[in-house]
Each structure stands twice: as C-alpha cells, then as structure tokens.
C-alpha cells in the first residue's frame, strides 16, 4: 500500500489567527510510523483563546482513520502487529455521541467530554498526545496510545497500557519516548486530582447550536476503504 498520499498536506504553523465560534476546522492526527495516512475529524469550533481550543465532533461526521492494508480494523491485529503492520486509509462515520474536545497550548494531552445517561458530558477521556500545532485548516498532533479514563467523581484509571508496550515493541516509540509519555500521564493525573481546567469548566453542560451544519472532509481527501 502506497503511504505517500497527502490529501490536504497539513503544514504546521504558529502564525494563524484564532478561529471563531462556529468555524469548521480539521482535527488531525498523524503517525510517524505510517506517513501519509491520517486520523482526521471535521469539527466545529466552540471557543479559541490563549488558554484553550474547544471543538465539537458531531455524531455521524465522516472522518478518516487508519485500517490494516486489507481494510480490516486495526484492533483485529494482535500484539505489536497492531502498530507495525502495513496500513491503509479508511473512511467511516463517527457513530458515538457527540464529543467536546479541549486542547491547551503546550499540553501533552487533550480532554474529551462524553455524554452520560444523565445527559451531562461528565465522563472524561484524557488522550495523551503531542501538544497541538495549527495549520491553515485546523490542528495537528500525534497520538501517544496511552489514555486515562475519568468519571464524574474524579476517579481515574490508565487505559491501553498493554497497547503502549505493543507500540514500543513494534518500534513506534523508543524506551525514552515511553518514559516521557508515562511522565505526561503522571502530570495529567495531577491535574485530574486537583480538578484543574478543563475538568472544572462548564463543558459538561455544553449543547451545540442547532444551526451549525455538520462539517465534512476536504474535497481532495482520498481513502482506500469505506466502512
């Protein structure tokens, strides 16, 4: 599978004006082990200031994601092959409830707010990742595999520690990188236990503007498999 495609050629920049509420941008993950492939989510901006960027991912949104070279899901591969096996570009629709995602400049994680049966978005997913950078149509980062799940009471637990080890065994991360990822997780846990922003924000009560149209992928986006 040819991994050289550049469907939108995101080029990081620090010289980009802030977006306005209601603007549509692309939330994009790259993976150095699989260049030219993207995990890309069209989203709507909720807020963008010097402290944070918050975006809304609507249920049903078309998004790019990674699949194995034969089109099967990444999680059908076992152990290190889940990260080292050849991949292709897939397309799918986000089937879960809408997500509020909050990014803070210089932070090694983002926080995703999930709706719970109560109707509030007070289930949190802390995604370890590179600090985000901007490009002309959105933000760019890289996933660090390890995550933290947090409930409304602040109880938290690490998620995907086994996958972090698989990624290391596949050569995706060095031992030093894994140590930095774990240190970033420790820092995130400190923020959770202190209940710092964005956990103490009003985002659990967020409701999107019903007039917002569903964002879509760029016209030039390409993929090999659709699910």
| Backbone phi, psi, residue 69, to 5° | -60, -25
What is the pLDDT at residue 3? 39
Q: How many CB atoms lie within 10 A of CB 4?
A: 7
**Residue pLDDT tens, the chain, 227 long:** 343 344 444 555 556 789 999 999 999 999 989 999 999 999 999 999 999 999 999 999 999 999 999 999 999 999 999 999 999 999 999 999 999 999 999 999 999 999 988 889 999 999 999 999 999 999 999 999 999 999 999 999 999 999 999 999 999 999 999 999 999 999 999 999 999 999 999 999 999 999 999 999 999 999 999 99
102: nearest Cα among 195, 214, 203: 203
- Separation of CA 162 from chain center: 19
Helices 175-194 & 161-169 angle (0-180, nearest 10):
160
Tokens 């985002």: give the residue. Answer: 203
Residues 172, 51: Cα–Cα separation, whole Å:
31
What is the pLDDT at residue 2? 40
Does residue 42 contact residue 215 with C-beta atoms inside 8 Å? Answer: yes
What is the pLDDT at residue 6? 45
157: nearest Cα among 129, 198, 124, 112: 124
CA distances from 141 to 104, 138, 159 (A): 12, 10, 19
Count helices and strands (H / E) in the chain: 3, 12
**Could you tell me the domains of the chain?**
24-202 (2.40.380.10)
Element housing 87 (H / E): strand 87-93
Q: For 225, left (φ over 0), alpha (ψ -120 to 50), or beta?
A: beta
Say which DSSP state 91 is in.
E
Instruction: Identify whether 198 is preceded by a cis peptide bond (ω within 30 of 0).
Output: yes
Q: What is the dihedral of CA 147, 151, 157, 159, to 10 degrees?
A: -30
């Amino acid at each position: 599978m040819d991994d050289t495609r550049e469907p939108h050629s995101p080029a990081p920049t620090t010289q980009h004006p802030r977006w306005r509420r209601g603007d549509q941008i692309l939330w994009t993950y790259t993976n150095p082990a699989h260049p030219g492939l993207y995990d890309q989510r069209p989203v709507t901006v909720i807020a963008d200031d010097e402290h944070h960027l918050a975006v809304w991912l609507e249920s049903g949104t078309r998004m790019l994601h990674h699949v194995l070279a034969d089109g099967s899901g990444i999680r059908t591969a076992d152990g290190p092959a889940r990260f080292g096996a050849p991949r292709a570009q897939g397309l799918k629709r986000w089937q879960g409830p809408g997500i509020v995602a909050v990014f803070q400049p210089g932070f090694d994680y983002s926080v995703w707010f999930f709706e719970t049966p109560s109707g509030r978005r007070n289930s949190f997913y802390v995604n370890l990742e590179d600090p985000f950078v901007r490009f002309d149509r959105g933000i760019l980062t890289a996933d660090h595999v390890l995550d933290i799940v947090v409930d409304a009471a602040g109880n938290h637990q690490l998620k995907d520690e086994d996958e972090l080890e698989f990624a290391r065994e596949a050569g995706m991360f060095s031992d030093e990188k894994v140590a930095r990822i774990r240190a970033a997780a420790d820092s995130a846990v400190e923020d959770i236990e202190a209940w710092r922003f964005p956990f103490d924000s009003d985002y659990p009560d967020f409701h999107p503007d019903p007039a917002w149209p569903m964002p879509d992928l760029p016209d030039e986006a390409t993929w090999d498999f659709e699910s």
